[in-house]
Structure 1
Amino acid sequence: MPDPTAPDISDLAARLVAGERRALARAITLVESARPDHRAQAIALLAALPPRQALRIGLSGTPGVGKSSFIEAFGLMLTGQGLRVAVLAVDPSSARSGGSILGDKTRMERLSRAPNAFIRPSPSQAELGGVGRRTREVVRLAEAAGFDVVLIETVGVGQSETLVAEMSDLFVLLLAPAGGDELQGVKRGIMEIADLILVNKADGELKATANRTVADYAGALRLLRKRPQDPEGFPKALPVSALEGDGLSRAWEEMQALADWRRQTSHFARHRAEQAESWFLSEVRAGLLARLRREPAAGRLAALGAEVAAGRADPVAAAAEMLAWLE
């Protein structure tokens, strides 16, 4: 019997494309649901949406660097230029702690009230990979709803940065004014995926320290191997002040310049194609893992896992036996 509460997918898609905020919120709730019937509806909805592109900007930074203040100031600057801005959060701890944006949204009151802005946390569902899967779908919804810029924010250090970089057109690392010891603490891998490093809090007594920090990071970036997707001068480090608004326009100009260069040289389209293929493969992997959790595969998996844990079976041999059983 059909569910009377199920949404009319074609109507929801039409309202979403028209830019209706309530339709976008309902669509996000639908794609984030784990219910099988909702997943089927979400797949149908995504398939019904027209291809639209926003500039996807991944943003990361350590706690206390002022991400909330930066996102609000940067978002208000963009909406002031007539652009529509969506802010999404990727936080591997959000299922437990609520995540950074879940708390920071209350501190971004001006941006949350802006008619051209939309702020939404993306729950982890206890798995970092789950965050990536659902966030990609939410980005797709935001693009279909006509947003010009999608800010994808992550809190932490490690795999979440790589995950966000893989679904972004540009990856921005936000840092605080620091000395040489703090510079050594920034992981080389994170710097290697950053397109732009912004040193926040470049105001007041910290302005001179921030400028020295920018010089330190600029020197460190010059030591990295040049990437084919970068024009001369990128990646680069710049000072910004979310408090006073200084440097925000320059940062936006640099982001646009880099995105335009990549479009003109086909790097942008190539990266989007790689993202789409990566999304496809991650969905296949997730689907296969989900099937392994269902009987009778789940029972067989648990039995072999117990044999490995007890030392009665070699992990590699047990894995091969499991795969052979699935054929």
Structure 2
Amino acid sequence: MDIAQLGDRVLAGERRALARAITLVESSRADHRAQAAQLILDLSRKNDAQAIRIGLSGTPGVGKSTFIESFGMMLTAQGLRVAVLAVDPSSTRSGGSILGDKTRMERLSRDPNAFIRPSPSQSHLGGVARRTREAVALCEAAGFDVVLIETVGVGQSETVVAEMSDLFILLLAPAGGDELQGVKRGIMEMADIILVNKADGDLKSAAMRTCADYAGALRLLRKRPQDPEGYPRAMTVSALEENGLDKAWEDMQALVTWRREMGHFAGRRAEQAQYWFGEEVRHGLLAQLEREPLKGMMQALGARVAKGEVTPTIAADEIMALLGRS
């Protein structure tokens, strides 16, 4: 594979080249990893464009795909180019996934100004795939103005997406039945904007009440230095009827503009780069456990732990000592 040629085609905005580049960065083969690292480095030197990275999370059934399609269509109608990186849950047995997000966004997938890429989460925790951040960088290099990162949608631990996005949007359903969720830590305090979806039909009044509950809950959280007055905030939207989407986009743009002017935007991206450096080191250390001789030692110690000959803590300390000497 000619990496330089592939990089030039990505910079030219060729969709097939972008898809091929994302496939390359998602590969775990050693030679592909080296090529992917070179590609990302080359693109970073040739391109300094910064798309607005928007992370989207929410429980299954809240309407993330419907929202993304309606929101994406609104943005492309304004002349913006939109990339969607949708992460689907993977089977713990086979590692496969259905990757059904693209089929659910039928209108957006046909839009020439949109690009949708579903990826399996595999064994990575936090609601995103391990290489999603690199895929975001590729989409920026390809000239997309907005990159939407849709997480798996499995619960309150989905905060990793906040480490690769400029805005973290939390989608909630009306009348969830547990108002206590509004004051829980974790995903709530990471959100920049909370959108209560499905504010239409019989659920409209329930959505308004839910929005008011969460707006009150947000006022109880400690104020963050990267937020202007009035943020984080909660509002209602209807992805089905496409109501409230323009107001949500205005608030997102206002928050990004304020953060750019106050220096928080660049500072946050620098912090994220440092975070992912640490993650790469941790993944590298864990990968050593899958290679000999540590793999064989792990199996032997695991058998002794199973027989009760040694405690898990002592066995783990032995492995850690071996890692320290390697």
TM-score (norm 1): 0.91
Contact 1:92 1:127 in 2 (8 A): no
Q: What is the SS of the residue equivalent to 1:207? A: helix
Contact 1:199 1:237 in 2 (8 A): yes
Q: 2:272 maps to what in 1?
A: 275
Contact 2:52 2:146 in 1 (8 A): yes
Aligned residues: 318
Q: For 1:183 and 1:200, how far apart are their aligned partners in 2?
A: 16
Q: 1:75 maps to what in 2?
A: 72
Q: 2:312 maps to what in 1?
A: 315
Residue 55 of structure 1 deviates from its aligned partner by: 0.9
Q: 2:235 maps to what in 1?
A: 238
Identity of aligned residues (%): 72
Q: 2:19 maps to what in 1?
A: 25
Report the AA paired with residue 47 of structure 1.
L
Residue 248 of structure 1 deviates from its aligned partner by: 0.5
Does structure 1 residue 205 correspond to structure 2 residue 202?
Answer: yes
Contact 1:91 1:160 in 2 (8 A): no
Residue 292 of structure 1 deviates from its aligned partner by: 2.0
Q: What is the SS of the residue equivalent to 2:178? A: helix
Does structure 1 residue 84 correspond to structure 2 residue 70?
Answer: no
Q: For 1:292 and 1:97, how far apart are their aligned partners in 2?
A: 23
Does structure 1 residue 264 correspond to structure 2 residue 261?
Answer: yes
Q: 1:42 aligns with which of 33, 36, 44?
A: 36
Unaligned runs of 5+ in 1: 1-6
Q: 1:227 maps to what in 2?
A: 224
Contact 2:87 2:120 in 1 (8 A): yes
Q: For 2:127 and 2:250, how far apart are their aligned partners in 1?
A: 33
When the two chains are superposed, the root-mean-square deviation of aligned CA atoms in Å is 2.0
Q: 1:182 maps to what in 2?
A: 178
Does structure 1 residue 62 correspond to structure 2 residue 59?
Answer: yes
Q: For 1:231 and 1:255, how far apart are their aligned partners in 2?
A: 12
Contact 1:195 1:236 in 2 (8 A): yes
Does structure 1 residue 115 correspond to structure 2 residue 109?
Answer: no
Q: 2:97 maps to what in 1?
A: 98
Contact 1:59 1:172 in 2 (8 A): yes
Report the AA paired with residue 252 of structure 1.
W
Q: For 1:321 and 1:265, how far apart are their aligned partners in 2?
A: 49
Q: For 2:101 and 2:213, how far apart are their aligned partners in 1?
A: 30
Q: For 1:324 and 1:241, how far apart are their aligned partners in 2?
A: 55
Q: What is the SS of the residue equivalent to 2:131? A: helix
Residue 136 of structure 1 deviates from its aligned partner by: 0.9
Contact 1:122 1:134 in 2 (8 A): no
Query: CA, structure 1 residues 146+160, in 2 after alignment: closer, same or farther (shift >3 Å)?
Result: farther
Contact 2:121 2:152 in 1 (8 A): no
From the two aligned structures, give the one with the greater helix fraction.
Answer: 1
Residue 307 of structure 1 deviates from its aligned partner by: 2.4
Query: CA, structure 1 residues 171+189, in 2 after alignment: closer, same or farther (shift >3 Å)?
Result: same
Q: What is the SS of the residue equivalent to 2:310? A: coil
Does structure 1 residue 302 correspond to structure 2 residue 299?
Answer: yes
Query: CA, structure 1 residues 11+164, in 2 after alignment: closer, same or farther (shift >3 Å)?
Result: same
TM-score (norm 2): 0.91
Residue 206 of structure 1 deviates from its aligned partner by: 2.0
Contact 1:92 1:128 in 2 (8 A): no
Q: For 2:234 and 2:128, how far apart are their aligned partners in 1?
A: 29
Residue 293 of structure 1 deviates from its aligned partner by: 1.0
Q: 2:137 aligns with which of 130, 140, 148?
A: 140
Contact 2:90 2:123 in 1 (8 A): yes
Unaligned runs of 5+ in 2: none
Q: For 1:152 and 1:223, how far apart are their aligned partners in 2?
A: 28
Contact 1:176 1:201 in 2 (8 A): yes
